[in-house]
Chains A and B, each alone.
Chain A
């Protein structure tokens, strides 16, 4: 941890550090090619990545944890390629991270302070977790400072911000209705810094590594979609490259989890799979060294890389409760009710029409409607 106090030039490059850790040239180049492929870059980009990692000094990184379960960190350190965790955790000069740092107490807070003053405008701020605004931020206080104060202080001098996971991107479970702590994503607090939303609960380890490698290599923010997610990993829906997609197009659906169709591996659309509205790389990069992903394993996608996915439950229904109604009601229940009311209203109105307008209706076109109306009025008076 003391190494970060040194002047940047004395710090070895990422490649030098990897070599000193026993990574050979071949593995290093494999890693670069791999990252280039993940990022969706052309073949020659592997060389660019290698060059960048050979020449660039470590970037100071501050990794903050707020309201979260640390599943993002857990995902990251389980990255299938050892180099990923190695270079990115050990070598990018992870100056401050509550979960993994050796330092504690005043020492840790001092390191954070030193980093953000010494490397002002240079360091990367990585955030895991949401920021509670309720009760003046009392729900999440570290070192006597509320999460909100820490985020504002650290963000002020950051070069860029990476929001890890659904918590930091859109609030995740603690922001689910009624959001008792007013859990707030980073992009709702910090407006004047580039923010990369690396969505998911957690994000895929290779995606996290890929985003960092992109920042290291090109020293600019990767191309983002309209919700701030890197397009390289979030431009396609889980549904688009799903292993069960052919069943969807063929109209072969699992009706319940223990039926014959589930055994045959049919599409999970009707049991609530959120793949068709979820943007992530699960069905291409997969999890745990490319072993599988939820849908492949027989469970629908929960949509964890989308905002408010906890409020879009139940997870095992395709069409869920309609937002904005206090009572639990699906769009179908509401629709059937208003449709029924309309039909009943039309029927009642038809009956009423025959009663109220009996006299005028009796007159054909061109006959004396006036007389009919008079007769009607007389009837009204006499009755």
Chain B
């Protein structure tokens, strides 16, 4: 795609992940780890022996409390990210997350060829995520929604707040709370699998392509050859204008140098 006729190797520093996106990422990561660990403990409480009376101890209750509070944080953070998918820059835009254009679908195919099965060695270089990655995050988002919906449905009976009771309709859908528990717990494993692959792939991309993808989620900047920056923005992928629509009949404008 971009590998042809490279004359220049001047690197350009491109501001890709805005601060809200980075905050979202790390809060989300922290929430997922916290929810995963506390959820695991709730499912498999360790055999801690205690000679004291039950009424003097509350550690399991505290673990559950942390799980519930973190769930609220996760949801708030998720809602904020939805908002930012409209307000943020083009790399954060909601349209990137749905592979509906031909170019996006082709890029998914390229990623399969180049990065997953490695038939080809020409890197798929994008400033945001590639279309495959965006789509994976859409799936992870749906998984998050599933956990929120089932989790609050399980939480509702112990709460007098109005919000968890918005999810009362979920119980008849599953027939009984027991079934919800099984699914809510099994979904934890999908987050584990996601985390393994996600962490591996950022190392992979950083190692193979050298665009500073790992540091980009801390500082927000990526490094890319100048000609590739122009080529990338010309494809229009992960390049949807935020806030203002593209003039019809033209390609998406090039990425504004930040």
What is the bound-complex CA distance between A303 and B59, given in angstroms? 26
Question: Is there a chain B Cβ closer than 8 Å to A249's Cβ?
Answer: yes
What is the bound-complex CA distance between A279 and B172, given in angstroms? 13
Question: Is there a chain A Cβ closer than 8 Å to B123's Cβ?
Answer: yes
What is the bound-complex CA distance between A367 and B11, given in angstroms? 11
> Is the pair A277, B204 in contact by a Cβ cutoff of 8 Å?
no
> Is the pair A373, B176 in contact by a Cβ cutoff of 8 Å?
no
> Is the pair B121, A367 in contact by a Cβ cutoff of 8 Å?
no
Chain B nearest CB, measured from A267 CB (Å): 9
Question: Is there a chain A Cβ closer than 8 Å to B258's Cβ?
Answer: no
- Known contacts: A249-B54, A318-B43. The answer to whether A308 contacts B175 by CB under 8 A is yes
Q: Which of B56, B60, B121, B204 contacts A360 (CB 8 A)?
A: B121
- Known contacts: A365-B11, A367-B9. The answer to whether A253 contacts B178 by CB under 8 A is no
Chain A nearest CB, measured from B192 CB (Å): 5
What is the bound-complex CA distance between A350 and B185, given in angstroms? 30
Most buried by A among B157, B178, B196, B225: B178
Chain B nearest CB, measured from A357 CB (Å): 6
Chain B nearest CB, measured from A49 CB (Å): 28
Name the interface residues of B1-59: CB closer than 8 Å to any CB of A: 3, 6, 9, 11, 43-45, 47-48, 50, 54-59
Name the interface residues of A288-339: CB closer than 8 Å to any CB of B: 303, 306-309, 312, 318-320, 322-323, 331-332, 334-336, 338-339
Question: Is there a chain B Cβ closer than 8 Å to A237's Cβ?
Answer: yes
Question: Is there a chain A Cβ closer than 8 Å to B72's Cβ?
Answer: no
Chain A nearest CB, measured from B67 CB (Å): 13
> Is the pair A369, B178 in contact by a Cβ cutoff of 8 Å?
no
Most buried by A among B122, B123, B186, B188: B186
A-B contact count (CB 8 A): 152
Count the B residues whose beta carbon is within 8 Å of the partner chain — how many? Answer: 54
Interface-facing stretch out of A5-13, A18-26, A212-220, A341-349? A341-349
A277 proximity list for chain B (CB < 8 A): 154, 176-178, 181
Least CB separation from B48: chain A residue:
A251
Which secondary structure characterizes the binding site on chain B? Answer: helix
> Is the pair B171, A227 in contact by a Cβ cutoff of 8 Å?
yes
Chain B nearest CB, measured from A270 CB (Å): 6
Least CB separation from B200: chain A residue:
A346
What is the bound-complex CA distance between A247 and B181, given in angstroms? 21
B172 proximity list for chain A (CB < 8 A): 226-227
B44 proximity list for chain A (CB < 8 A): 318-319
B178 proximity list for chain A (CB < 8 A): 274, 277-278, 303, 306, 308-309, 312
B43 proximity list for chain A (CB < 8 A): 318-319
Chain A nearest CB, measured from B155 CB (Å): 12
A369 proximity list for chain B (CB < 8 A): 3, 6
Question: Is there a chain A Cβ closer than 8 Å to B158's Cβ?
Answer: yes
Question: Is there a chain A Cβ closer than 8 Å to B208's Cβ?
Answer: yes
Q: Mark B197-211, 1 if CB is under 8 A from A, else 0.
A: 100100010011011
What is the bound-complex CA distance between A270 and B189, given in angstroms? 20
> Is the pair A353, B204 in contact by a Cβ cutoff of 8 Å?
yes
> Is the pair A373, B121 in contact by a Cβ cutoff of 8 Å?
yes
Question: Is there a chain A Cβ closer than 8 Å to B223's Cβ?
Answer: yes
Chain B nearest CB, measured from A341 CB (Å): 8
- Known contacts: A226-B171, A270-B45, A349-B204. The answer to whether A331 contacts B54 by CB under 8 A is no
> Is the pair B118, A352 in contact by a Cβ cutoff of 8 Å?
yes
Count the A residues whose beta carbon is within 8 Å of the partner chain — how many? Answer: 62
> Is the pair A251, B196 in contact by a Cβ cutoff of 8 Å?
no
Question: Is there a chain B Cβ closer than 8 Å to A41's Cβ?
Answer: no
Question: Is there a chain A Cβ closer than 8 Å to B140's Cβ?
Answer: no
> Is the pair A331, B185 in contact by a Cβ cutoff of 8 Å?
yes
What is the bound-complex CA distance between A366 and B168, given in angstroms? 57
Name the interface residues of B228-254: CB closer than 8 Å to any CB of A: none
A357 proximity list for chain B (CB < 8 A): 118, 121, 208
Question: Is there a chain B Cβ closer than 8 Å to A236's Cβ?
Answer: yes
Q: Which of B11, B122, B168 contacts A226 (CB 8 A)?
A: B168
> Is the pair A252, B50 in contact by a Cβ cutoff of 8 Å?
yes
Question: Is there a chain B Cβ closer than 8 Å to A56's Cβ?
Answer: no
Chain B nearest CB, measured from A327 CB (Å): 15
> Is the pair A342, B175 in contact by a Cβ cutoff of 8 Å?
no
Chain A nearest CB, measured from B34 CB (Å): 18
What is the bound-complex CA distance between A303 and B179, given in angstroms? 12
What is the bound-complex CA distance between A273 and B59, given in angstroms? 20
Q: Mark A140-159, 1 if CB is under 8 A from B, else 0.
A: 00000000000000000000
A322 proximity list for chain B (CB < 8 A): 182, 186
> Is the pair A320, B182 in contact by a Cβ cutoff of 8 Å?
yes
- Known contacts: A360-B123, A361-B207. The answer to whether A250 contacts B200 by CB under 8 A is no
- Known contacts: A227-B172, A361-B208, A373-B122. The answer to whether A236 contacts B157 by CB under 8 A is yes
Q: Mark B58-80, 1 if CB is under 8 A from A, else 0.
A: 11110100000000000000000
B3 proximity list for chain A (CB < 8 A): 369-370, 373
Least CB separation from B119: chain A residue:
A356
What is the bound-complex CA distance between A360 and B121, given in angstroms? 8
Least CB separation from A373: chain B residue:
B121
- Known contacts: A274-B178, A350-B200. The answer to whether A249 contacts B189 by CB under 8 A is no
Question: Is there a chain B Cβ closer than 8 Å to A376's Cβ?
Answer: yes
> Is the pair A253, B6 in contact by a Cβ cutoff of 8 Å?
no
Name the interface residues of B111-137: CB closer than 8 Å to any CB of A: 116, 118, 121-123
User: Can you list 11 A-B contacts (CB < 8 A)?
Assistant: A226-B171, A236-B157, A248-B60, A277-B181, A345-B197, A346-B196, A353-B204, A365-B11, A369-B6, A370-B6, A373-B122
The 5 A-B residue pairs with the shortest CB-CB distance, nearest first, are: A335-B189, A251-B60, A250-B57, A249-B61, A346-B200
Q: A246-B55, A250-B58, A365-B210 are in contact. List 5 more A-B contacts (CB 8 A).
A: A266-B54, A312-B176, A331-B186, A356-B118, A376-B121
